[in-house]
Amino acid sequence: MLRPTSRVRPDAYEAVFGALAHPARRRVLLAIYFNGGAMTAGEIAAIFAHAWQTTTRHLQVLEAAGLLRHERQGRMRLYRIERKRLALVSEWLAHFQRPVRRRSRGEQDVKIKDIKGHQGDARKTRSA
């Protein structure tokens, strides 16, 4: 299993990457970022051509993943980006910035098991 550098639970990574998997949610984050880091739900919905319910759902997913937070201002909701949570993406990608240490064949098999579970065992029995 991947060992994150922080003490973040693995399901936090799942939530963040799951939320970022949809292009509309990535566009929402970009829109908020390029509009000074905060926008109302109405301003966000006005940018996108999809229905209000769809925009609301995307905002809910982003908020549930911890990528956005909102505060009430009268009858409006002001959404802001949660930069600390978004930093999980950079942290995870940093694994690929470091040089890879060459491993012996035995160490590679262990790593594959850690990442894929028991699928490595099935591959060994097929090739034996």
pTM for this model (two decimals): 0.69
Three-state DSSP at 112 gives helix
Q: pLDDT tens-digit profile of 10-48?
A: 788 999 999 999 999 999 999 999 999 999 999 999 988
Helix, strand, coil percent content, the chain, rounded in steps of 5: 60, 10, 25
Task: Tally the residues of the chain.
Answer: 128
Higher pLDDT, 109 or 23: 23
Q: pLDDT tens-digit profile of 82-96?
A: 999 999 899 888 888
Q: Is 78 exposed, middle or buried (0-12, 13-18, 19+ CB in 10 A)?
A: middle
